[in-house]
Amino acid sequence: MSEHSADTHDLIRVQGARQNNLKDVSVEIPKRRLSVFTGVSGSGKSSLVFGTIAAESRRLIDETYSTFLQGFMPNLPRPEVDVIEGLTTAILVDQERLGANPRSTLGTVTDGHAMLRQLFSRLGAPHIGGPTAFSFNIPTTKVGGVSVTESGKKNVIKQEIYLGGMCPACEGRGVVSDLNLRAIVDESKSLRDGAILVPGYKADGWMVKGFSESGLLDGDKPIKDYTETERHDFLHKEKTKIKALGMNMTYQGLLPKLREAMFSKDPEQLQPHIKAFVERAAAFAPCETCGGTRLNESARSSKIDGLDIGEVAAMQITDLATWLRKIEEPGVAPLIGSLLHLCDKMTEIGLGYLSLDRPSGTLSGGEAQRTKMVRHLGSALTDVTYVFDEPTVGLHPHDIERMNKLLLDLRDKGNTVLVVEHKPETIAIADHVVDLGPAAGSDGGTICFEGTFGELAKADTLTGRHLGHRAALKESVRTPSDHLKIQGASSHNLRDVDVDVPLGVLTVVTGVAGSGKSSLIHGSLGADGHDVEFVDQSAIKGSRRSNPATYTGLLEPIRKAFAKANGVKPALFSANSEGACPTCKGNGMIYTELGFMETVSSPCEDCGGKRFQALVLEYLLGGLNIAEVLDLSVAKAHEFFSEGDSKVPAAAKILGRMADVGLGYLKLGQPLNTLSGGERQRIKLAMHLGEKGGTYVLDEPTTGLHLADVDNLLALLDKLVDAGKSVIVIEHHQAVMAHADWIIDLGPGAGHDGGQVVFEGTPAELVAKKSTLTGEHLAAYVG
């Protein structure tokens, strides 16, 4: 930081940070500069950047609300840190999905849709009204009858007046919800043989008798043989009073009954097996009335240049820009200018292949993050601290340069930019690098290096030593045992793709963002009944209450061992059951939902976040109580359950697998919702390690991994393949490509410029040919 003065106004100063694994860390970060935080996974980067700096900024901002408002908000705990000086407002640009709200699209979250509506209300013909007439989120209100003016004059309104553009059939969602009947009823069976597949509906149980003894249905006839009336009564009948089994009862068809009892509930509140059923049985179908456009007829009838707003929103952004440039109406020039600005920014950031009507819930983590970035690039705010979590996720080496430029743009607008990142290309543009380590968890949490990129390259830290690290191509590749044939794949942008995916080897699927990798692998392998296991980074449902111990099944043998050692019931040692602290119901945290803001959490004061009632903590195993066991790291617990009084072989086995996937530093009781995407993916992978054979798909498993961690990941992938599994990896990391037995490269570009297989073969052939973008970049990397 030699070139900056030591003026405290130009620094964010952190003293004595102890959040999570941080060991009394003090650090000075230059303001209005780009700082990159490096270190192995679990070293403490997030704890410093998100958990300390961003969290304290957020807390201080909350404190500026009026005492009245604060009364509704729980006090955010102060991060464990002695002093932080020089903070500015922090904005997190992370990979959290944009929310699965069905009303939210790329257009609504970027304002692009609002601008299109303005455009149609000005230029659309026939003309019908203001911008709201084109909004699928505003209902079609028919105003009829009489209106009264201020002076008392009555006007008779004959016409229907459309206020909004919402399709009335699907209420603007584009899809209608549906139940997947096959998951609910086995039509080949009769009621008494167990035709109803819903949890709790046993063939001889009370719930099923309500149907079979109702007098309306024949309990011994297979459902497929029901008459139309029987079928209607069984599935759809509205509530009716009947007399059956000698009692007055209310009869209701199965589907409305399930809708009330299960499908209208918050899934997180349901018992796990019921939740699993609900997820299986809920289905969506495109709305027939609007053809999925979400818009009512009137909104769809107004056109510019022959296209309606739905068609325009469905265009790929690069095409939308071309279309907009052709509109030469002076009256809308400023509006067109703003729309083009948005399109250009989206394209620059590598999202030009998306369309504005894309539901925001279907964007990948990296796409969501880049969308948020576009919003901030347009912001007039300056002197903000932007905090990025691995902004290069999902980006081909070819796209990283553009991303780098945007990070520098944000800095040059007078902002402080903090980036957690592993890719050498992005570390290289930092004004300042902070390297955490030396290792993960309790072996990390210190600062190993601070300085410029040039200095880091010479520093003797894990990151410094790995910067110039280049993977070599393998001497020889494995021979496939068989092939999975994909034929005529055409979902999304795929152009009738035929490709053979080799089995029994490590296959890497490459291509720029939007080229069609996920569409090919998830779409085709997922749909065709191939027996493929997807090990992704998606959130684990119900993850507030779950932790690595509950999720991996590890807690079961541990509870039993505790129960046996103490002569009590196993259920006592579950924070989701009898052992729970009554105040927080075993959450360890108190969650407050604030309708208008994000949910906020604060630790439970009764159990101190330990989640158990005091009594339970008196029972010991090998000298530790259950809360202390859950506070152990995987590596420590592995030792603990491997020998002595506390030997539990079943637990040690699972822990060994977790250590194998590089999660030795993780605490057993850490809530799953605090895990990074990469950690979630590796924990899912650990669950499959014990299985024989199988085909596994991993989407960007290097996310969150330091260059040094990547070597461990490759060793793990080799281990899986050598154990007879087929592994298919979607990756941008050149070290993984170089390590592949086979590469399938998609392209040549993104969206409709992609969707083809541009190369299939070994990494050596790809490098020798250099015929694709991926080939060029890999050649430069191994060269």
Residues lying near ligand ADP in the complex (CB under 6 A) are found at 20-21, 39, 41-47, 353-354, 358, 362, 441, 492-493, 511, 513-519, 665-667, 670, 674, 751
Return the one option of ligand ADP, Zn ion, none that residue 670 interacts with (CB less than 5 to 8 A, by type). ligand ADP
User: Which among 663, 701, 697, 708 has a CA at the least distance from the CA of 681?
Assistant: 701
CA distance from start to end of the chain: 33
Using CB under 5 A as the binding rule, the residues of this chain from 475 to 494 that contact Zn ion are none
Q: How far is the CB of 39 from ligand ADP (least distance, A)?
A: 5
Using CB under 5 A as the binding rule, the residues of this chain from 590 to 619 that contact Zn ion are 604, 606-607
Count Cβ neighbours within 10 Å for each residue of 372-402 and write b for 16 or more, e otherwise.
bbbebbeeeeeebbbbbbbbbbbbbbbbbee
User: Which tokens go with 139?
Assistant: 């209902």
CB of 535 closer than 8 Å to CB of 526: no
Using CB under 5 A as the binding rule, the residues of this chain from 149 to 168 that contact Zn ion are 167
Three-state secondary structure string covering 70-127:
HCCCCCCCCCCEEEEECCCCEEEECCCCCCCCCCCEHHHHHCHHHHHHHHHHHHCECC
| Cβ distance to ligand ADP smaller for residue 253 or 441 | 441
Q: How far is the CB of 604 from Zn ion (least distance, A)?
A: 3
| Cβ distance to ligand ADP smaller for residue 44 or 464 | 44
What single-letter DSSP state applies at residue 698?
Answer: E
CB neighbourhood size of 3 (10 A): 8
The footprint of Zn ion on this chain (CB under 5 A) covers a number of residues equal to 12
Q: 528-534: long-range contacts at Cβ-Cβ below 8 A with a sequence spacing of 24 or more?
A: 528/486, 530/484, 530/695, 531/694, 531/695, 532/695, 532/696, 532/697, 532/728, 533/688, 533/694, 533/695, 533/696, 533/697, 534/696, 534/697, 534/699
* Rounded CA separation 620/78 (Å): 32
* Rounded CA separation 675/686 (Å): 15
Q: How far is the CB of 75 from ligand ADP (least distance, A)?
A: 18
Q: How far is the CB of 361 from ligand ADP (least distance, A)?
A: 9
| Cβ distance to ligand ADP smaller for residue 496 or 643 | 496
User: Which among 662, 712, 95 has a CA at the least distance from the CA of 390?
Assistant: 95
| Cβ distance to ligand ADP smaller for residue 304 or 395 | 395
Return the one option of ligand ADP, Zn ion, none that residue 613 interacts with (CB less than 5 to 8 A, by type). none
Return the one option of ligand ADP, Zn ion, none that residue 581 interacts with (CB less than 5 to 8 A, by type). Zn ion
| Cβ distance to Zn ion smaller for residue 83 or 169 | 169
| Cβ distance to ligand ADP smaller for residue 28 or 731 | 731
> 147 φ, ψ to 5°?
-120, 155
471 interacts with Zn ion by CB under 5 A: no
Strands 282-286 and 247-251: unpaired
289 interacts with Zn ion by CB under 5 A: yes
Q: How far is the CB of 626 from ligand ADP (least distance, A)?
A: 17
Q: Which amino acid is at 146?
A: V
Return the one option of Zn ion, ligand ADP, none that residue 669 interacts with (CB less than 5 to 8 A, by type). none
| Cβ distance to ligand ADP smaller for residue 262 or 743 | 743
Q: How far is the CB of 424 from ligand ADP (least distance, A)?
A: 17
| Cβ distance to ligand ADP smaller for residue 298 or 362 | 362
| Cβ distance to Zn ion smaller for residue 289 or 298 | 289
| Cβ distance to ligand ADP smaller for residue 257 or 667 | 667
* Rounded CA separation 156/349 (Å): 53
Which position among 471, 512, 581, 737 is part of the footprint of Zn ion (CB under 5 A)?
581
Q: How far is the CB of 136 from Zn ion (least distance, A)?
A: 8
* Rounded CA separation 463/613 (Å): 44
Q: How far is the CB of 588 from Zn ion (least distance, A)?
A: 6
Q: Within 13 A of 455's CA, how many CA atoms are on the CB side? A: 13
Helices of type H across 129-243: 181-184, 206-212, 228-235
Q: Which stretch binds Zn ion (CB under 5 A): 48-56, 99-107, 318-326, 573-581?
A: 573-581
Helices of type H across 22-84: 45-48, 55-63, 67-70
User: Which tokens go with 298?
Assistant: 């009137």
| Cβ distance to Zn ion smaller for residue 26 or 583 | 583
| Cβ distance to ligand ADP smaller for residue 489 or 689 | 489
Q: Which stretch binds Zn ion (CB under 5 A): 182-190, 273-281, 579-587, 699-707?
A: 579-587
Q: Which amino acid is at 354?
A: L
Return the one option of ligand ADP, Zn ion, none that residue 358 interacts with (CB less than 5 to 8 A, by type). ligand ADP
Which position among 487, 490, 583, 592 is part of the footprint of Zn ion (CB under 5 A)?
583
Sign, CA dihedral 649-653-656-658, equals: negative
Return the one option of ligand ADP, Zn ion, none that residue 519 interacts with (CB less than 5 to 8 A, by type). ligand ADP
Secondary-structure percent of the chain, ordered helix, strand, coil, rounded to 5: 40, 20, 40
Q: How far is the CB of 753 from ligand ADP (least distance, A)?
A: 9
What single-letter DSSP state applies at residue 672?
Answer: G
Q: How far is the CB of 106 from ligand ADP (least distance, A)?
A: 9
Return the one option of Zn ion, ligand ADP, none that residue 515 interacts with (CB less than 5 to 8 A, by type). ligand ADP
Q: How far is the CB of 364 from ligand ADP (least distance, A)?
A: 7
CB of 42 closer than 8 Å to CB of 440: yes
| Cβ distance to Zn ion smaller for residue 211 or 612 | 612
> 263 φ, ψ to 5°?
-80, -15
Q: Which amino acid is at 358?
A: R
Count Cβ neighbours within 10 Å for each residue of 533-555 and write b for 16 or more, e otherwise.
ebbbbeeeebbbbbbbbbbbebb
170 interacts with Zn ion by CB under 5 A: yes
Q: Which stretch binds Zn ion (CB under 5 A): 170-178, 326-334, 367-375, 502-510?
A: 170-178
| Cβ distance to ligand ADP smaller for residue 367 or 741 | 367
Return the one option of Zn ion, ligand ADP, none that residue 120 interacts with (CB less than 5 to 8 A, by type). none
* Rounded CA separation 743/502 (Å): 10
169 interacts with Zn ion by CB under 5 A: yes
290 interacts with Zn ion by CB under 5 A: yes
- Provide the mask over 306-335, with x wherever binding to Zn ion is found by CB under 5 A and - wherever it is not: ------------------------------
Return the one option of ligand ADP, Zn ion, none that residue 677 interacts with (CB less than 5 to 8 A, by type). none
| Cβ distance to ligand ADP smaller for residue 39 or 124 | 39
* Rounded CA separation 418/88 (Å): 12
Q: How far is the CB of 261 from ligand ADP (least distance, A)?
A: 31
CB of 197 closer than 8 Å to CB of 240: no
Return the one option of ligand ADP, Zn ion, none that residue 170 interacts with (CB less than 5 to 8 A, by type). Zn ion
* Rounded CA separation 776/133 (Å): 49
The residues that touch Zn ion, with contacts defined as CB under 5 A, are 167, 169-170, 287, 289-290, 581, 583-584, 604, 606-607
